[in-house]
Structure 1
Amino acid sequence: MGGDGIVLDYNNMLAPRLGGGHGIDPARLDAMAERFRAAHADAQERRRSGELGFYALPDDVETVKSIRQFAEGVGQTFSTIVVLGIGGSALGTIALRTALLHPFWNELGDEEREFFPRLYVLDNVDPATIAPFLDRLDIRRTLFLVVSKSGGTAETMSQYLIIRQRLQAELDDGYVRHLLFITDPKKGVLREIATAEGIATLPIPPSVGGRFSVLSAVGLLPAAMVGIDITGLLAGAAEMRERCDTDDLHRNPAALFGTLQYLADTEKHANVQVMMPYSDPLKDVADWFRQLWAESLGKQKSRDGDDIFVGPTPVKALGTTDQHSQVQEYVEGPFDKTITFLAVREPAVDLDIPKLHAELGELGYLGGHTLNELLNTERLATEAALAKRGRMNMTIELPRVDARSLGGLLMLLEIATVYAGHLYGIDPMDQPGVELGKQLTYGIMGRQGYDEFKQEWEGREPKRDEWIIR
């Protein structure tokens, strides 16, 4: 389904294409129409009540205005932007950067970047990376975007404390202009610090969770500062939101994606769901999707409070790279997977393959074609190989990799996640498993102490020396 925009081809998810008892019976998909109407109605009600704040992000004119003012004013006095964040505070920005900037953006000279700043995202706390990065960074020309809705994210705040100390040592009171906090509009540690010290801020709406925040200031501010078309991003998202504003299962692309993946998992035992872009610019969309799908749908409790332990396992791959590392298992391994290909109809660039060594059959057949022909041929061949072996797969095709298309794709996948959550009977907006880890980290670092916890944990019975290889 589609047209001039994003196209969803789900033929290879269905039994008539796969045969051998594999795939989803089209009649079974049709029978989901009523359940989907309930899922759509629930999503619309939660949207009206303000629970699903990501739906409203394309309409947040005031935040976009503030972003533009900062990005086009003070923001352009910096040569480097560094995002401090993790999970939903980082993955969306990384996906935007990879998709919409030159692949070697940070290596380009000032003129080649049209004097927009370089953009880095620190999304982990391993000092093996952070220490050498900070050692080579000119912090006098760097703006640090500290992204944490709660202001209590241990990884992000540890980064912030290190950066702040260095800024104050280098710039004294001038540190303030090198920080901008993206956080809750009213509460949290970052909000308190910003209010007390006059640090610039932008809000994350309270009803927008981290993994749904890419089209908020979390993703839009760094994008705007490096010249990405945020108006196009939001326009594409709004168009997809409108396209999905129907309770007709067969006309709603997000509904079809979510429902087919749900049926594959619960009725065909395909609980591993692979996203495989055949496009380097889209490779980090698969990484962003992994968090969205896993953190939203992997739940112990139903919305009624019952233990149900549900959720597919998302996996990322990249074509053609992973044809040489993963596809063997996908084609001949267990029938426990679906594959979603991301394809691009109009690539921005291409390269001719020269007609050399024509006398050698192993090389001669390549000459006269282009790299995009090869890329797309390999994708089609992989689709066909999977289908011939009864493996469910579908393709989401973007007309091109631009801001408008990317905004539409992100919104499609976010809405699909909400629908899938209803079908599973869980709340896709919470994350109790993540919160447990945060609480344990806080308890260990803040009260008990690492050494004491390690000693206590490692001393638990049964624990035997013969189960340790030294």
Structure 2
Amino acid sequence: MSNSISFSPQAAGFLIEKQYSMLTEHLHAARDEAFADVQLRTSGEEIPEAKQPLDSGFIDLPERLLNGEDDLLENIESAAKSLRDRIDRMVVLGIGGSYMGLRALFEALCDPYHNELSREARGGNPRLYFEGNNLDNDSMSSLLNLLKTQCVDPKELADRWGIVVISKSGGTLETAAAFRIFREALEEYYGADSPEATELVVPVTGETGKLRDLSNARGYQQTFPIPDGVGGRFSVFTAVGLFPAAVLGIDIRALLQGAADMTEWCRTKPAGENPVLDYVATCHLLERDHGMDVRVLSTWGNRLESTGLWYDQLLAESLGKHERGATPLTVVNTRDLHSRGQQHQEGKRDRVISNIIPGDPASSPISLPEAPDGLDQDLLNRIAGKTIPELLQAAIEGTNQAYAEDQRPTTDLKLSKIDAYSMGQLLQLFMLATAIEGRLIGINPYGQPGVEAYKNNMGRILYGS
């Protein structure tokens, strides 16, 4: 087991060793309960009402997949290669946890200008487009128009496109409506009775539900399950995230290995040596003892912004219940230091800032060139030769120092680099931390009653029942 993440709190005098030591027993108990939930879910015992729903299956899922459970991982890789070789544009339809994890992986692990590159420069992988995550008529219309105008010959690989539709129940209106619309466009392009009409649509859904029934009725050649016991926002390491990630050429085995190693680290190491428990303890104590119920995830660099947005949903829907729960907020620095930095530095003392520091860049460091005589009006010649990563590190250190001097607590989650393994570790860390904190504070981290209320009201308004 190796680890690519380190955690260190810079709590600026807010937390003392006594607070940590007094919490340790409760923290370990919450960790043990979260892991015991894995066994309870499959034991056949009656699940207590307070633990329903019990979507703890994500915890050991990476290890089970790597160990060959149901040959699912091999099937995902095989089907992904088949789809990758047949299309040049992939439209992913899903909302919430059905697309946010993939978006985090795509932005972290693929080229920032992936869709602008030639197929060869993309490594033979298709372009990616997201829809079905909102009800934006103009956005949907633009994508439909792009497909219609850019894809003109279904016999040419460069003009071929397919759909991956993701919904556990199939009952989420945003995704269901988008699927009907894009399915009609796809069938019009290839022909409703063509092999492509069923071979280039891949549903990822539950074993039962509206999308499963539709998939069976239409005869789609490949359908992947979303397992029972894994909720949508915890589903990134199911086929929800893994299948489209594999189509994009992402190393899904490295993702799963990172997640499995983080799970083992969390399960076996005590507080003080365990980044999951230490992150939970720091955030919990700052909220409980100092009223800091705003959690700012400060991602340094553009590639992790969608990871922050994914975590926003994870934390908000899991712990935002019963008039409790911290409010998550994602910022991207140094960009947002010029928009939100003032408030974080001198606004209300209600927040803890958690930095995600990306580590070594994937590309060669860019050096600041020296300007010729007479063109140094910006006075940058004095730092000519320094690299962009060096400038970023100075910004991180300078910002943390400013917060510390004003008694503003921060934490640092440091990655060695952004790759598939480290992303597996990071996403699993956040999912484990959320489940454990829920058990620590007595809130079931699974289920989403507030979201169901909006869905029911929306249905009543539209259908009149």
Shift of 1:361: 7.4
TM-score normalised per structure 1: 0.88
> SS of the residue aligned with 1:338?
strand
* 1:53 maps to 2:57: yes
Q: Which residue of 2 is the match for residue 7 of structure 1? A: 6
Give the counterpart of 1:153 among 159, 172, 175.
Answer: 172
Letter in 2 for 1:129: S
Summarize deviations over 1:27-82 as a string: whole Å, max 9, x none.
11111011112201211210112341111221223221111110122442111111
Give the counterpart of 1:337 among 335, 340, 351.
Answer: 351
Alignment of 1:360-371 (within 5 A): 362-371=379-388
Give the counterpart of 1:272 among 280, 287, 294.
Answer: 294
Shift of 1:116: 1.2
Checking the alignment, whether the CA contact within 8 Å between 2:83 and 2:200 is kept in structure 1 is no
Checking the alignment, whether the CA contact within 8 Å between 2:162 and 2:186 is kept in structure 1 is no
> SS of the residue aligned with 2:128?
strand
* 1:190 maps to 2:205: no
Q: Which residue of 2 is the match for residue 116 of structure 1? A: 125
* 1:401 maps to 2:385: no
Give the counterpart of 1:90 among 88, 94, 99.
Answer: 99
For 1:73 and 1:160, the matched residues in 2 are separated by 21
Q: Report the CA distance shift for 1:26/1:361 in structure 2 as closer, same or farther (over 3 A).
A: farther
Shift of 1:254: 0.8
For 1:30 and 1:209, the matched residues in 2 are separated by 33
* 1:384 maps to 2:401: yes
* 1:248 maps to 2:263: no
Q: Report the CA distance shift for 1:394/1:3 in structure 2 as closer, same or farther (over 3 A).
A: farther
For 2:332 and 2:162, the matched residues in 1 are separated by 32
Shift of 1:412: 0.5
Unaligned residue ranges in structure 1 (runs of 5+)? 301-308, 449-470
For 2:202 and 2:2, the matched residues in 1 are separated by 41
Shift of 1:86: 0.7
Letter in 1 for 2:231: G
Moved more, 57-66 or 360-369: 360-369
Shift of 1:394: 0.4
Q: Which has the higher contact order (CA 8 A, sep 6+)?
A: 2
Checking the alignment, whether the CA contact within 8 Å between 1:357 and 1:363 is kept in structure 2 is no
Letter in 2 for 1:160: F
* 1:131 maps to 2:141: yes
TM-score normalised per structure 2: 0.89
For 2:267 and 2:301, the matched residues in 1 are separated by 29
For 1:124 and 1:432, the matched residues in 2 are separated by 20
RMSD between aligned alpha carbons? 1.7
Letter in 2 for 1:53: G
Shift of 1:172: 1.6
Shift of 1:5: 2.0
Checking the alignment, whether the CA contact within 8 Å between 1:5 and 1:405 is kept in structure 2 is yes
Shift of 1:355: 2.1
For 2:241 and 2:463, the matched residues in 1 are separated by 31
Unaligned residue ranges in structure 2 (runs of 5+)? 42-53, 155-159
Summarize deviations over 1:137-189 as a string: whole Å, max 9, x none.
1395111111000110110001011112223333122222221110002x100
For 2:215 and 2:427, the matched residues in 1 are separated by 31
Letter in 2 for 1:173: D
For 1:380 and 1:126, the matched residues in 2 are separated by 40
Shift of 1:257: 0.9
Give percent identity, aligned residues only: 35
Letter in 2 for 1:34: E
Shift of 1:265: 1.4
Q: Which residue of 2 is the match for residue 347 of structure 1? A: 361
> SS of the residue aligned with 2:312?
helix
Give the counterpart of 1:206 among 228, 246, 254.
Answer: 228
Letter in 2 for 1:205: P
Summarize deviations over 1:245-266 as a string: whole Å, max 9, x none.
1362222211111121111112
Give the counterpart of 2:279 among 257, 264, 284.
Answer: 257
Letter in 1 for 2:33: D
Across the two proteins, how many residue pairs are aligned to each other?
430
Checking the alignment, whether the CA contact within 8 Å between 1:212 and 1:414 is kept in structure 2 is yes
Shift of 1:268: 0.8
Shift of 1:3: 8.3
> SS of the residue aligned with 1:53?
coil
Moved more, 120-129 or 330-339: 120-129
For 1:114 and 1:5, the matched residues in 2 are separated by 26
Summarize deviations over 1:169-222 as a string: whole Å, max 9, x none.
33122222221110002x100111112221121011111111111111011111
Consecutive aligned runs of 4 or more in structure 1 exceeding 3 Å deviation: 357-362
Checking the alignment, whether the CA contact within 8 Å between 2:60 and 2:263 is kept in structure 1 is no
Give the counterpart of 2:311 among 268, 271, 289.
Answer: 289
Q: Which residue of 2 is the match for residue 67 of structure 1? A: 76
Shift of 1:226: 1.2
Moved more, 252-261 or 242-251: 242-251
Shift of 1:364: 2.9
Summarize deviations over 1:347-392 as a string: whole Å, max 9, x none.
2221000122686574233312111100111011111111111111
